[in-house]
Structure 1
Amino acid sequence: MFVIRQAEKKDLFQIRKLIKEVGLRDRGIEQHLHHFFIAEVPSVNEGKVSPMVGVVGMEVYPPYGLLRSFVLERAPWNSKVGMNMIRILLSYAEKMGLSHIFLLAGQSTRFFTQLGFVKTGQDDIPEELRQSEHLAKSISQGQPMVYAFRKYPLPN
């Protein structure tokens, strides 16, 4: 069993550790921590830290979000937990009133396509998102993809 919850300040060290272990950039996470979610195995012992097995977060530049730092430990259950994590993040983004969520997918384009993301070009990334240091440093390392909430059309 796993619990997915919104990240708190006390989670920052574990989040950074998990992200660094897979070679992703952790710079700037603290500024956007309130838009991060973690998956953990609940601890049966009170006071014991629950093992964190996944993290997903986004940077918010209204009306857009930039999904970043999606990491799951390798295990047979990871695609189900991963899909739930992304769905929770998308639900959160929709409640915030965001219109589109962008990301740079490496080898995971198929996974994100199953969740409703579509491939797009670098030129289609909105100017609002270009202020992200994470995006600027990562733009050449992945396939841009976008998720549009039903009431908003995909950008041209």
Structure 2
Amino acid sequence: MRRRRRGRWITRRPLTFREAMAADLPALDTLLIVAELSPEGVETHLADFVLAIQGNEVVGMAGLERYGPHGLLRSVAVRADHQGRGIGHALTRLMVERATASRLETLTLLTTTAADFFLKLDFHPVTRDVLPAALRASPQLQGGCPASATVMHLPLRQR
């Protein structure tokens, strides 16, 4: 795609999505630190992380942790210079599709800054005590995310 900026043409490279690999860990850690999200557990669940790539650069990411029939959506992050382009929305929808295809029953997330964003994607706030025990025992819910974080939930069965 080409567009004109300040009298010259620039080419915007297409956005692609792919699964994360071990070689991506440094870029993921950097993106998470800049977004003020915890990199803890990313390497353990790396097989369930998806990256948004533009050119040769990681511009966004999202991950899934599985706990029996329940999933924890985590680390949805988009580089600041790429925000507002629908990348976070696309990553979240892709993770919901993957969770549904994997026959997970629910998808839960924790957020300190993006509750309004996830409300638009059909997630609803819940209290921690209504979550399944397996999710409550996850590292993210056991302190990886602050107690002040909003817990949001999406049932997947009827999708």
Q: So what's the TM-score if we normalise by structure 2?
A: 0.84
| Residue type at the aligned position of 1:149 | L
Aligned counterpart, 2:103:
97
Q: CA deviation at 1:115?
A: 0.7
Q: CA deviation at 1:59?
A: 0.9
- Which structure: greater helix fraction? 1
Aligned counterpart, 1:39:
52
Q: 1:5 aligns with which of 18, 22, 30?
A: 18
Identity of aligned residues (%): 28
Q: CA deviation at 1:57?
A: 0.6
Aligned counterpart, 2:32:
19
- Are the aligned partners of 1:103 and 1:144 in contact in 2 as well (CA < 8 Å)? yes
- Are the aligned partners of 2:128 and 2:136 in contact in 1 as well (CA < 8 Å)? no
| Residue type at the aligned position of 2:24 | D
Aligned counterpart, 1:147:
154
SS at match of 1:97: coil
Aligned counterpart, 1:47:
none
- Indicate yes or no: 2:110 matched with 1:110: no
Runs of 4+ in 1 over 3 A off after TM superposition: 75-79
Mark the CA change 1:30 to 1:76 in structure 2 (over 3 Å): closer, same or farther: closer
- Are the aligned partners of 2:105 and 2:156 in contact in 1 as well (CA < 8 Å)? yes
Structure 1 residue runs of 5 or longer lacking an equivalent are: 43-49
- Which structure: greater strand fraction? 2
| Residue type at the aligned position of 1:127 | A
Q: Which has the larger radius of gyration?
A: 2
